[in-house]
Structure 1
Amino acid sequence: MPEQRRPVLLAVDDDDHVLRAVRRDLSRAYQERYRVVASRSPAEAMRILDRLRERREEAALILSDQRMPEMTGIEFLVEAGRRFPGARRVLLTAYADTSVAISAINEVRLDHYLVKPWEPPEERLYPVLDDLLSDWESAHEPPYQGIRLVGHRFAPATHRLRDLLTRYRLPFRFEEAEPGDPAVPEVVLPDGRRLARPGHGEVVAALGLATELSHPHYDVAIVGGGPTGLAASVYASSEGMATLLIEAYVPGGQAGTSSRIENYLGFPSGISGVDLTNRAMAQARRFGVDVLAPVEARRLSRAGRACVLNLSDGKEITAATVLLSPGLSYRGLDAEDAARFEGAGIYYGAALSETESCVGRHVWIVGGANSAGQAALHFSRHACHVTMVVRADSLASGMSAYLVDEIAATGNITVMTNTLVVATGGADRLEHITLRDNRSGELTTREAEHVFVFIGARPRTEWLDDLVRRDAHGFLLTGPDLGPVAGLASWDLPRPPLLLETSVPGVFAAGDVRANSVKRLASGVGEGAMAVSMIHRYHSES
């Protein structure tokens, strides 16, 4: 165990000769399992104990001399016990004070007393301390040494950090903060560092997950780390291209939030979006892909034949080609006051970080497509009941048949069709929702603490301005969908755009963000691979 994480044996005595002897004997027998600390005064010893408690370290045994100028040993051990109730407390005393020590055992629950001198320690010291430390170890629950997140469960900022750590598959312990604590949310790292109200980039950097750029110029820069971007990065890097993957949040995209994907080829028992994403990330890193996350692409421009990307962290990246696969953003719930409760009862996507909060509760799912069905089945294994609010006449109109059948066979899922959420309400967190029956117009208000929304999405293409042509809904036009390119100022090649090439030569688009694409995981992965072959062709022409 690292030295600073070993439980502490603390000895306190104002007599230097005695203190050296105690420290020597403790170190000789216990230094491999414990950290031996010595102090000449009770005041200093209290400060040591306070620091240990602040750092969430443990004191296993505290030995104190009885006769000290600032306070007696018994008084000190009483105070020490308030800081570390489980620590074993031993009084060092002269023969004349044994009656005081015996009284202390009964009155203040002192664990033992030792009469000075204790030579030889093998007979008069170690047997006593061995028993006490054995008792302490058997009753002791080691403190949690991993990442801790301190915050308010229904605060949006806390939810975002919970989601970030969950998506990165970083085990952490959540601790409810005291009301009014100005430092929360706070991430406490295993080495003791505390990040108060950190941004996502600060957390990623502190955990050593940030990537340094290894190339001054890239063959291909991929914007968006969903399945499409991940597939393209694996294929491009495996074929020798210098590849950069830029993701605004956590690699995986919307697929990464899916609790279970059951219709993806090769996984007959299904796979979670997080697991699939982590496998893809492991492949990408093995082939040498540089990954920047969480970093947003803010602007795309051209410098001759090169593409230039300006990023949210201040970096400027140049690449011979760019693949745009930034994916989609969930559409907001169009209900009164809904924006006020985002991250405080209303969540977009499966929000697997909130699963623990939903155990034994009633969960509401808004939406009727596959992602909503997968979320309903996931939460049905944890919540007491799941209610799906669906605008359509039935689930079959927008959901795969296998999911419809599974939902029908799950006893604690109720489906409300022809229904909309029209209002939300509560104080600091969501407490109730108002539903409208589209057939009768009837309004009903129901208690609701956990609402997960899956009602469509919009492409993340606003940052491209007018450089790349889009359709009326913001989806990127490619290949034949662009129509004649003779009049386009941005097109200067003698050939027409390739199938996945945008209105800017060397800039490609794939996946959900491309106009008229098939919005399915497998097709997105396929387009990512297809885009790489077209990027190869573009390089060969240049």
Structure 2
Amino acid sequence: TDLPVILVPGRPLMRNPQPADIAAEFGESPHAVDDQEMCDLLVVGGGPGGLAAAVYGASEGLTTALIDADAFGGQAATSSRIENYLGFPAGLPGAELAARGTIQAAKFGVRLHRNARAAAFTSEDGIHTVTCDDGRSFSARDVIIATGANHRRLAVPGIEAWESNGVYYAATVVEATYSRGRPVAVIGGANSAGQAALFLARTSDPVYLVVRGDDLDHSMSRYLIDAIAADPRIHVRVHTEVVGLSADSEVTGLEVVDRTSGRRSALAVSAVFVFIGATPCTDWLDERPAMDPDGFLLTGQDVALPAGHRMPLPFETSVPGVFCVGDARSGSVKRVAAAVGEGSAAVRLIFDRRRIDGTELL
């Protein structure tokens, strides 16, 4: 019950602390539950798209606040190595990209708020307010939603008992160390799964890449497909679905079924890494702005508005002055570079929106 234990030099031992306690220990100032902050631009979500929006907003003279439910970096921060981001031919660890972006945001004066989980959204007279689950609220005339998406969990009976203890939704140095020298399985057929398989193959053998589809071509970048094909430690199992997990004191294997023949077989593995897509973090918006059937926010020309209403700008939602970038946006390209580009472009569109609607800075 004492775990996790946090050691901070010169401070009392922290036993099983709450996120707010950790945030305060590392410099996040405490806030009363009735605190309210007003700014020109509020960015909700600190992944690559949110960090880019905050950096560009502050650098363009907007008083900017960035809030995130956890730590900045989003899903990108859990990537072992991003190799297709322009300017980093040797690749860049996701955690390092997140750290650099956070430092850059602070440099331009962005008000950074970790441990600020958005819980409600209201809009009145052109002022949008986001209220967090601890009672704090943030208001702005323009909001950029960059809350991204959560990893979709593997629907296998009993898997919950092994999550973070043999079943993982990220592949970092920590998880790779745990499975060093042992067989592992990576489930998924998109870029995140391919990057994880290549990273884990450095220390684990074999690495089974389990894919529901018939091939990797429809969802994975060519450079990853070629690298996987050239690595003898990676074994690709296409049109294969996981239906069971075996374990005793630790994970010992997977039961899989061939979706073409229906034949079942077992894979002996010591760890499972799951990358099977994501669900958008938009439930706190209570279906306002407009969303697609899966909960992703509609933007630009995808928004259907009654006659007489202004057509939303690119990345603008059905609520004027509220934009969405990154993985939470319907039809977005699930790439780090795309999220960064959308975040920076949305800031430019804020100035266009204010000119069109005749609004000024707060």
Per the TM superposition, whether the score is higher than 0.5 is yes
> Does structure 1 retain, via aligned residues, the 8 Å contact 2:188–2:209?
yes
CA distance in 1: counterparts of 2:11 and 2:69, whole angstroms: 28
Per the alignment, residue 181 of structure 2 pairs with: 360
* 1:335 aligns to 2:168 (yes or no): no
Question: Following superposition of structure 1 onto structure 2, how do residues 270-419 of structure 1 map, counting pairs within 5 Å?
Answer: 270-419=91-240
CA distance in 2: counterparts of 1:466 and 1:409, whole angstroms: 46
* 1:510 aligns to 2:329 (yes or no): no
CA distance in 1: counterparts of 2:28 and 2:197, whole angstroms: 32
Which runs of 5 or more structure 1 residues have no equivalent in the other structure?
Answer: 1-181, 488-493
Say which SS state the counterpart of residue 397 (structure 1) adopts: coil
Change (3 A) 1:290 1:459: same
**AA partner of residue 183 (structure 1):** D
**Structure 2 counterpart of 1:485, from 282, 306, 320:** 306
Percent sequence identity is 42
> Does structure 2 retain, via aligned residues, the 8 Å contact 1:345–1:429?
yes
* 1:433 aligns to 2:254 (yes or no): yes
**Structure 2 counterpart of 1:249, from 70, 74, 81:** 70
Change (3 A) 1:519 1:295: same
Per the alignment, residue 202 of structure 1 pairs with: 21
Deviations 1:168-216 (A, max 9, x none): xxxxxxxxxxxxxx32222222225222222233222223355879994
**AA partner of residue 51 (structure 2):** L
CA distance in 2: counterparts of 1:511 and 1:480, whole angstroms: 17
CA distance in 2: counterparts of 1:387 and 1:196, whole angstroms: 38
Say which SS state the counterpart of residue 308 (structure 1) adopts: strand
**Structure 2 counterpart of 1:267, from 88, 111, 123:** 88
How far does residue 460 in structure 1 lie from its aligned partner after superposition? 0.8
Could you tell me the TM-score, scaled by structure 1's length? 0.62
Change (3 A) 1:215 1:266: farther
CA distance in 1: counterparts of 2:30 and 2:173, whole angstroms: 26
* 1:189 aligns to 2:13 (yes or no): no
How far does residue 385 in structure 1 lie from its aligned partner after superposition? 2.6
Could you tell me the TM-score, scaled by structure 2's length? 0.92
- Aligned-pair RMSD on alpha carbons? 2.1
> Does structure 2 retain, via aligned residues, the 8 Å contact 1:211–1:292?
no
Question: Following superposition of structure 1 onto structure 2, how do residues 117-266 of structure 1 map, counting pairs within 5 Å?
Answer: 182-209=1-28, 216-266=37-87
Quick one: higher RCO (CA 8 Å, sep 6+), 1 or 2?
2
How far does residue 507 in structure 1 lie from its aligned partner after superposition? 1.0
CA distance in 1: counterparts of 2:325 and 2:306, whole angstroms: 20
Question: Following superposition of structure 1 onto structure 2, how do residues 51-62 of structure 1 map, counting pairs within 5 Å?
Answer: none
Per the alignment, residue 276 of structure 2 pairs with: 455
CA distance in 2: counterparts of 1:306 and 1:265, whole angstroms: 37
Change (3 A) 1:384 1:191: farther
How far does residue 517 in structure 1 lie from its aligned partner after superposition? 2.0
CA distance in 2: counterparts of 1:221 and 1:196, whole angstroms: 34
Deviations 1:395-423 (A, max 9, x none): 22321111111112222211111211111
How far does residue 445 in structure 1 lie from its aligned partner after superposition? 2.8
CA distance in 1: counterparts of 2:23 and 2:265, whole angstroms: 44
Say which SS state the counterpart of residue 317 (structure 1) adopts: strand
Per the alignment, residue 109 of structure 1 pairs with: none
Q: Aligned pair count?
A: 355
**AA partner of residue 6 (structure 2):** V
**AA partner of residue 204 (structure 1):** A
Q: Which structure has the bigger radius of gyration?
A: 1
How far does residue 226 in structure 1 lie from its aligned partner after superposition? 1.0
CA distance in 2: counterparts of 1:212 and 1:242, whole angstroms: 19
CA distance in 2: counterparts of 1:400 and 1:356, whole angstroms: 26
**AA partner of residue 164 (structure 2):** G
Say which SS state the counterpart of residue 288 (structure 1) adopts: coil
> Does structure 2 retain, via aligned residues, the 8 Å contact 1:435–1:445?
yes
The farther-off stretch of 355-364 and 473-482 is 355-364
Per the alignment, residue 526 of structure 1 pairs with: 341
CA distance in 1: counterparts of 2:279 and 2:120, whole angstroms: 19
Change (3 A) 1:532 1:354: same
CA distance in 2: counterparts of 1:500 and 1:434, whole angstroms: 42
How far does residue 313 in structure 1 lie from its aligned partner after superposition? 2.6
> Does structure 2 retain, via aligned residues, the 8 Å contact 1:211–1:291?
no
